[in-house]
């Protein structure tokens, strides 16, 4: 307080000095004691001004007292705050230690803090209760999940036998739920619908059930009808028929759960316990019942399927016999239909593909010409179809061939076999035109002949060569004995002179052996000569041969091997001259040996000339074959530029033709599919029988005419298409052609 008094007095003095300084300065009086005295005398009010220091001391006194009161209040407030802080800290420690029942006792704590702490305390209580509940729920879920997994394995392991499944389920339920006993009922509906117990487990051992209940009887029957579980703690007297045998009381709690699927009750689970069965265990039993129902349904379905399968197999065995007969009838019908349609289908396709490569014409069955292509007109010297349409076919046939041709035409027009061979025609100018011709009848659907198709290749030059060759051969046949032998010596052909000279004529010469005409003494030498022939070497020399009469004769023989296209000897040609007389003269007259040698050399020259003619004939035949191959190549070139896709495979299923239209249609390069299996084009997923047989023609061949199929293209697109399949033959090889009509 003294400090406040001093400070108040000093403040009053400072104010007083400040006032006097201002007054003296304003009055221009010197600030001295005398000046102060004079000024008081002139201004008596200044005495009041002199009281200012005392007023400051009084103000300091009162200020000191007020400050002291404030300090006392602050100390009191701090004391109360300390007390409240200790209470709050204690409350927080209790909350941190999860002592949530502590109360806050203090009158100095802020009400908002008290409310917040109480709210926090309540929230922590709720959180602890939620955590306990969540932990309990997790424990229940884990228990349920593990149980369902164990029951799933158990159901899978016993899914084939009803009784094993029932006991496995009920015994595991009793153990897993830690209850006393349980029973497994199944629905029976053979006569009257009922529930039969098939498994029972009580007091840790298996019981042998003998219990059957009518549908709707008792608690179990009611649960089966309502399809809802039943749980009670009031088990009726004498309800349980299975006891412990130790005199203990019966269980108090009973749970009955239906086993049903899609509203169909398959069975009932009956469980009894001394302890209460909580809700989560009841829900668990319901889940087990659902899984058991699914397993039982699958088991019953499998049993029914097995029974149906056995019944189906028995019926199938009976049907197979009938189907086999039907199949044979259908195959015979298909073969008949295919044979009736094949000629027509092949003719249509053949006409479209070779019209510009061969001589072609169509005739009515009465022989009048209906159509002739350009090559026909050009080869026969006509300018257009108007000159030949409606004209009889005899107009184009050489007069000397009319008789046999008329007979052939009559048979052909009546549906007889086709004709194939050389034909002599007459041009407009009367010249002869030889062709390698084919006449084929085209039938209608009813089997009658619609028209006659004529196809031919100009063979005039070849025929003239053949006639020239035949004339030479005839001359040789008249002059020399000739024969053809297989490599083992069997006679394949013999001219009359050969038969007359060596075998005396008559039947039975064919398939006789040349070794039969060689004396035993000459067999070894002749075998050496023959082995040379089989090896491909020619022989010219004298051979002694025996006639059928037993007389030996000498022949100047020319043996020439004839090879096939692979260089293998196919047959041996024999030409000989009877020189028995010369040989006898040679033996009797040595002096004429030189003359005989000259004659022999002359004959050798003639034989060599004849051999050269034979070789030349073989060369011409090869040339004819090459010319024919060129015709085929021209036909392939025409198909290459055909505007519709055309694919051809051989009888092994390898692609031999893939034209440009096919490249665009299938978006494949020709080089990638040629000489490859046809499945590369159509893929392995083709289900259509026409395409399947086309890709694998060696197994089954189905010919088609404008038939709709589904194509799976290499880009996996599906496309509908109209196709035709044609089969043609070239020697031993068959060619299958697929036309896609786009």
- Structure confidence at residue 332 (pLDDT): 82
Question: 260-281 pLDDT, tens per residue?
Answer: 888 888 899 999 988 889 998 8
Do residue 442 and residue 472 come from a single domain? no
Non-local (6+) Cβ contacts of 6 within 8 A are: 60
For residue 459, the Cα-to-chain-centroid distance in whole angstroms is 53
On whether both 453 and 512 belong to a single domain, the answer is no
Contacting residues for 392 by C-beta, under 8 A, at least 6 apart: 367, 368, 369
Question: Rounded distance, CA 62 to CA 74, Å?
Answer: 19
Q: What is the number of other CB atoms lying within 10 angstroms of the CB of residue 650?
A: 18
- Report, as an integer, the average pLDDT of 160-180: 88
| Residues 420 and 506 occupy one common structural domain | no
Give the pair of three-digit tokens for residue 357: 């490569």
Q: What is the dihedral of CA 282, 285, 291, 293, to 10 degrees?
A: -100
- Please, what's the largest Cα pairwise distance for the chain? 218
Which residues, in sequence order, are CB contacts of 560 under 8 Å at separation 6+?
A: 538, 572, 573, 575, 611, 614
**245-252: long-range pairs with CB below 8 Å, 24+:** 245/203, 249/274, 251/179, 251/180, 251/181
Instruction: Please give the angle made by the CA atoms of 630, 633 and 637, to the nearest 5 degrees.
Output: 135
- pLDDT value of position 369: 93
Specify the pLDDT at position 258. Answer: 93
Whether residues 288 and 203 fall in one domain: yes
Judgement on whether residues 258 and 202 belong to the same structural domain of the protein: yes
Report which of 722, 624, 599, 621 is spatially closest to residue 665, judged by C-alpha positions: 722
651 and 565, same domain (yes or no): no
Between these two residues, 478 and 331, which has the higher pLDDT value?
Answer: 331
If you write DSSP's letter for every residue of 661-718 in order, what string do you get? Answer: HHHHHHT--HHHHTTSBTHHHH-S----HHHHHHHSTTT----EEEEEEEEE-TTS-E
d(CA 739, CA 727): 12
Cα 569 to Cα 486: distance, rounded to the nearest angstrom? 9
Give residue 211's domain range: 158-307
Inside any domain, residue 137: no
Kindly state whether residue 105 falls inside one of the protein's structural domains.
no
Q: What pLDDT does residue 185 have?
A: 92
Which range is least confidently modeled, 4-18, 209-223, 342-356, 656-670? 342-356
**Which of 119-133, 368-382, 581-595, 661-675 is predicted with the least confidence, judged by mean pLDDT?**
581-595
Residue 247 clears pLDDT 50, i.e. is over it: no
Question: What's the rounded mean pLDDT across residues 227-251?
Answer: 68
Is the confidence at residue 108, as pLDDT, over 70?
A: no
Q: DSSP letter string over 465-483? A: HHHHHHHHHHHHHHHS-EE
- Decide which of 61, 91, 121 is a domain's last residue: 91
Name the CA dihedral angle for 584, 586, 590, 592, rounded to a multiple of 10 degrees: 120
- Per-residue pLDDT of 600-635, as tens digits, reads 677 677 667 767 776 777 787 677 667 656 665 666
DSSP-derived pairing of the beta strands 552-563 and 569-578: antiparallel
Which pTM was predicted? 0.33
CA angle 181, 187, 189 (to 5 degrees): 150
pLDDT band at 472 (very low <50, low <70, confident <90, very high): low
SS3 label, residue 55: helix
Nearest to 370 by CA among 388, 352, 383: 388
Beta bridge partners of 361: 372, 454
Q: Which of 437, 458, 479 is the last residue of a domain?
A: 458
pLDDT on residue 491:
85
The pLDDT confidence band at residue 245, using thresholds 50, 70 and 90, is: very low
715 phi/psi in degrees, rounded to 5: -85, 15
Is residue 1 predicted with pLDDT exceeding 70? no
Phi, psi of 151 (to 5 degrees): -70, -35
pLDDT (tens digit per residue) in 511-550: 578 887 788 888 888 888 888 888 888 888 888 887 766 7
User: Last residue of a domain, which of 401, 428, 458?
Assistant: 458
What distance in Å separates the CA atoms of residue 361 and residue 379, rounded to the nearest whole number? 12
198 with 291, same domain: the answer is: yes
Residue at token pair 């809700």:
279
Q: Are residues 384 and 473 in the same domain?
A: no
pLDDT given for residue 569 in this prediction: 87
261 and 299 inside one domain:
yes
In order, the DSSP letters of 250-261 are: PPSEEEEEEEEE
d(CA 677, CA 650): 10
**pLDDT exceeds cutoff 70 at 191:** no
Question: The tokens of 378 are what?
Answer: 């050009």
Is residue 24 included in any domain, yes or no?
yes
Span of 133-142, 226-235, 728-737 with lowest mean pLDDT? 728-737
When pLDDT is cut at 50, 70 and 90, the band that residue 256 belongs to is very high
Note whether residue 134 is domain-resident: no
Higher pLDDT, 60 or 313: 313
Q: Give the rounded percent of residues in the chain with a pLDDT score beyond 90.
A: 5
Q: Are 287 and 144 in contact (CB under 8 A)?
A: yes
- Indicate the average pLDDT of the chain: 79
- The 10s digit of each residue's pLDDT in 690-735 is 888 888 776 666 677 778 888 777 666 777 888 888 887 755 677 8
The pLDDT value given to residue 259: 92
Residue 425 main-chain phi, psi, to 5 deg: -105, 170
Partners of 261 in the beta sheet?
264
In a domain, 377, yes or no: yes
Q: Are 378 and 519 members of one domain?
A: no
- Name the domain count of the chain: 5
Q: How many CA atoms lie within 13 A of 436 on its CB side?
A: 13
Report CA 305 to chain centroid distance, whole Å.
29
- Copy the structure tokens of residue 249: 């009381």
Segment 76-83 shows an average pLDDT of 70
Mean pLDDT, residues 63-72 taken together: 74
Distance separating alpha carbons of residues 249 and 243, to the nearest angstrom: 9
Token pair of 121 as six digits: 């305390």
Q: Tokens representing 126?
A: 């709720």
| Per-residue pLDDT tens digits for 405-446 | 999 998 888 888 889 888 889 998 888 888 888 999 888 888
Whether residues 654 and 549 share a domain: the answer is no
Q: Are 576 and 700 within one domain?
A: no
pLDDT tens for 359-415 read: 888 999 999 999 888 888 888 899 888 888 999 998 999 888 898 999 999 888 888
Among 18-32, 111-125, 220-234, the range of highest mean pLDDT:
220-234
Flag whether 678 is in a domain. Answer: yes
Q: Which residues contact 396 (CB under 8 A, 6 or more apart)?
A: 369, 380, 425, 426
CATH code, domain with 582: 3.30.450.20
Q: Within a domain: residue 176?
A: yes
Q: Cite the DSSP H helix spans in 355-401.
A: 374-380
Residue 103 lies in a domain: no
In this prediction, residues 235-252 reach a mean pLDDT of 60
- 660 versus 470: the higher-pLDDT residue is 660
CATH (domain of 201)? 3.30.450.40
Residue 741 bridge partners (DSSP): 722
Residue carrying the six token digits 């394949």:
492
């Amino acid at each position: 307080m003294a400090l406040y008094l001093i400070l108040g007095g000093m403040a009053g003095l400072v104010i007083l000095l400040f006032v006097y300084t201002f007054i003296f300065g304003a009055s221009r009086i010197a600030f001295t004691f005398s000046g102060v005295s004079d000024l008081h005398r002139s201004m008596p009010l200044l005495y009041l001004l002199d009281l200012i220091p005392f007023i400051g001391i009084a103000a300091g006194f009162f200020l000191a007292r007020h400050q002291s009161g404030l300090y006392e209040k602050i100390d009191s407030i701090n004391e109360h705050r300390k007390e409240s802080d200790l209470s709050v800290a204690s409350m927080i420690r209790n909350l941190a230690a999860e002592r949530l029942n502590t109360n806050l006792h203090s009158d100095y704590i802020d009400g908002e803090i008290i409310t917040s702490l109480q709210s926090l305390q309540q929230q922590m209580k709720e959180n602890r209760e939620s955590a306990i509940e969540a932990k309990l729920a997790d424990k229940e879920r884990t228990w349920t999940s593990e149980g369902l997994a164990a029951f799933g394995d158990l159901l899978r392991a016993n899914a084939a036998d009803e009784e094993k499944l029932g006991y496995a389920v009920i015994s595991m339920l009793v153990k897993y739920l830690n209850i006393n006993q349980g029973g497994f009922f199944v629905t029976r509906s053979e006569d009257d619908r009922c529930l039969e117990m098939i498994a029972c487990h009580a007091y840790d051992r298996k019981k042998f059930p003998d219990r059957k209940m009518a549908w709707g009887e008792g608690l179990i029957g009611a649960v089966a009808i309502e399809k809802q579980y039943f749980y009670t703690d009031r088990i009726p007297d004498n309800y349980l028929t299975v006891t412990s045998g130790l005199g203990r009381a019966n269980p108090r709690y009973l749970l009955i759960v239906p086993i049903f699927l899609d509203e169909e009750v398959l069975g009932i689970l009956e469980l009894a316990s001394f302890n209460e069965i909580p809700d989560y265990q009841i829900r668990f039993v319901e889940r087990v019942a659902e899984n058991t129902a699914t397993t039982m349904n699958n088991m019953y379905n499998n049993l029914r399927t097995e029974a149906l399968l056995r019944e189906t197999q028995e019926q199938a065995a009976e049907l197979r016999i009938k189907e086999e007969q039907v199949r044979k009838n259908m195959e015979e019908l298909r073969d008949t239909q295919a044979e009736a349609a094949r000629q027509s289908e092949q003719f249509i396709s053949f006409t479209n593909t070779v019209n510009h490569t061969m001589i072609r014409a169509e005739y009515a069955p009465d022989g009048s010409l209906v159509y002739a292509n350009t090559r026909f007109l050009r080869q026969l010297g006509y300018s257009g179809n108007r000159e030949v349409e409606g004209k009889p076919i005899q107009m184009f046939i050489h007069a000397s061939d009319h008789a046999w041709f008329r007979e052939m035409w009559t048979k052909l027009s009546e549906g007889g076999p086709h004709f194939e061979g050389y034909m002599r025609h007459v041009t407009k100018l009367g010249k002869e035109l030889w062709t390698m011709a084919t006449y084929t009848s085209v039938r209608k659907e009813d089997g009658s002949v619609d028209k006659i198709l004529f196809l031919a290749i100009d063979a005039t030059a070849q025929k003239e060569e053949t006639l020239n060759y035949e004339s030479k051969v005839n001359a040789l046949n008249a002059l020399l004995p000739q024969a053809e032998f297989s490599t083992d010596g069997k006679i394949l052909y013999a001219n009359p002179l050969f038969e007359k000279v060596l075998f005396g004529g008559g039947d039975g010469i064919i398939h006789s052996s040349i070794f039969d005409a060689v004396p035993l003494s000459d067999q070894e030498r002749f075998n050496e000569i023959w082995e040379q022939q089989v090896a491909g070497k020619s022989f010219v020399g004298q051979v002694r041969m025996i006639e059928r009469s037993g007389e030996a004769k000498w022949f100047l023989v020319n043996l020439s091997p004839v090879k096939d296209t692979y260089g293998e000897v196919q047959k041996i040609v024999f030409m000989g001259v009877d020189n028995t007389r010369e040989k006898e003269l040679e033996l009797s007259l040595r002096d004429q040996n030189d003359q005989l040698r000259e004659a022999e050399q002359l004959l050798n020259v003639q034989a060599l000339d004849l051999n050269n003619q034979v070789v030349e004939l073989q060369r011409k035949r090869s040339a004819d074959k090459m010319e024919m191959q060129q015709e085929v190549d021209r036909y392939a070139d025409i198909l290459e530029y055909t505007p519709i896709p055309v694919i051809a495979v051989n009888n092994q299923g390898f692609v031999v033709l893939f034209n440009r239209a096919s490249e665009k249609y299938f978006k494949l390069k020709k080089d990638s599919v040629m000489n490859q299996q046809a499945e590369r084009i159509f893929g392995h997923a083709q289900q259509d029988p026409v395409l399947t047989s086309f890709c694998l023609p060696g197994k089954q061949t189905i010919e088609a005419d404008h038939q709709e199929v589904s194509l799976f293209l290499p880009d996996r697109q599906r496309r509908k298409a109209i196709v035709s399949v044609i089969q043609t033959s070239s020697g031993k090889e068959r060619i299958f052609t697929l036309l896609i009509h786009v």
